[in-house]
Amino acid sequence: MKTLKNLFLDELADIYDAEKRIVKALPKLAKAASSTDLKAAFLAHLKQTEGHVKRLEKVFQSFDQKAKGQTCEATVGLLLEGDEIVAEFRGSPALNAALIATAQKVEHYEIASYGCLHEWAGLLGNKGAARLLEQTLEEEKESDELLTKLARATSNEVALGGGDGTSMTTTRTKRTGGLARNSRTPVARPKQSLVGTR
């Protein structure tokens, strides 16, 4: 009979595979972005995600298991969709908004996964694993919030056709309360697949 521990370990292997795929996808998202701020956000999250992989390996160890992944079909699908979006919107004003949408779909999947894993680790009596998973859960939530801020600051407006979107650095204007953008040279956007392998 399969128990909560079996479910936990299956989902742990799933998110482990997902995080390793995301490590490979983030540099490609950063290269595709025409916004310097969005590029920086993707690269910062790359370093964080590398830490998530190591943290998951500690969770496996805390259950006396060897770290191993099983193909995360959800992440594969989301990254394939991201490939299509990047190809379709490359060079358009909506590119950065599309990249943020792609990244947030992945973040929301991770938030749901880590939320379950954190709860289950607690029920299984492994407080150390629960703490590690909660730490990652909070970081994923923070990353999602940052992407929302970047989208609202400029990329959604630019997607309407209102600017080049090369930077999302914004300042409030005193007279109108609007947002003023600083423009920079767009970065190159190579054609690379976001979907990695284990």
Contact, 6 vs 13, CB < 8 A?
no
Q: Is the pTM of this model over 0.85?
A: no
Strands 179-181 and 170-172, sheet pairing: antiparallel
pLDDT, tens only, 38-51: 999 999 999 999 99
Instruction: Supply the pLDDT for residue 48.
Output: 97
Instruction: Supply the pLDDT for residue 85.
Output: 87
Give the domain ranges of the chain.
4-163
List 106's β-bridge partners, or say none: none
SS3 165: coil
Contact, 108 vs 140, CB < 8 A?
no
Residues of the chain with pLDDT under 70: 162-198
CATH no. for 4-163: 1.20.1260.10
